[in-house]
Amino acid sequence: MNLYLNQYSKFCRFIFIVTPIRSGSSLLQHIIAQIDGCATVGETHLRYRKPRDLSRLIRRVCEESGLSYFRRRTFLDKITADNQMQDVELFNPDLVKVVFLLRQPAPTIANLSKLKLWPRVGTSDVILNYYRGRLTNMVHQAEQLRHRNRGFF
């Protein structure tokens, strides 16, 4: 099955929303998912290291949504942690598009401070360090995109 999914993923398209948490990415994800042929299941927390990892996204979306592999051609996931995707340039520019989503810092940080089950919950310094680090990583990922039409802000 994995070999089949690896082959199938060459014919699919992928959209990644790269964002800090609490930035409105769930709303954007639901809006994009309304496009005919697009499928998503919320945050998968998958890590993408190699192009073949894209088949894991296909499998997860199809298993959790009950959709057939052939019913969808575009698969969507959110990248909210630095360790989920290190090098976006590993992926075929014709297949993978990236949306960099930012919200005004003040409401994002205020929202982060209200989270009770988040592993980084704590002082405002902890929250600000996460936010700064996440933005730094997002800038690094944007700089990796050699093809300007691959990323949207």
Question: What's the pLDDT tens digit per position in 68-92?
Answer: 666 668 899 999 888 888 777 777 7
Upper half-sphere CA count for residue 8 (Cβ side, 13 Å): 19
Residue type, 149: N
Please determine, for residue 9, whether its predicted confidence score (pLDDT) is greater than 70. Answer: no
Distance CA 124, CA 102 (A): 19
Identify residue 88 by its one-letter amino acid code: V
Please provide the average confidence, as pLDDT, over all residues in the chain.
Answer: 81
Q: Say if residue 57's pLDDT is above 60.
A: yes
The pLDDT tens digits for 89-136 are 777 777 888 899 988 888 888 887 777 666 666 677 788 888 899 899
Q: What percent of the chain has pLDDT over 90?
A: 14
Q: Is 88 exposed, middle or buried (0-12, 13-18, 19+ CB in 10 A)?
A: buried
> Which domains are seen in the chain, by residue range?
2-152 (3.40.50)
Backbone angles phi, psi at 102, to 5 degrees: -125, 150
CB 18 within 8 A of CB 139: no
pLDDT of residue 94: 79
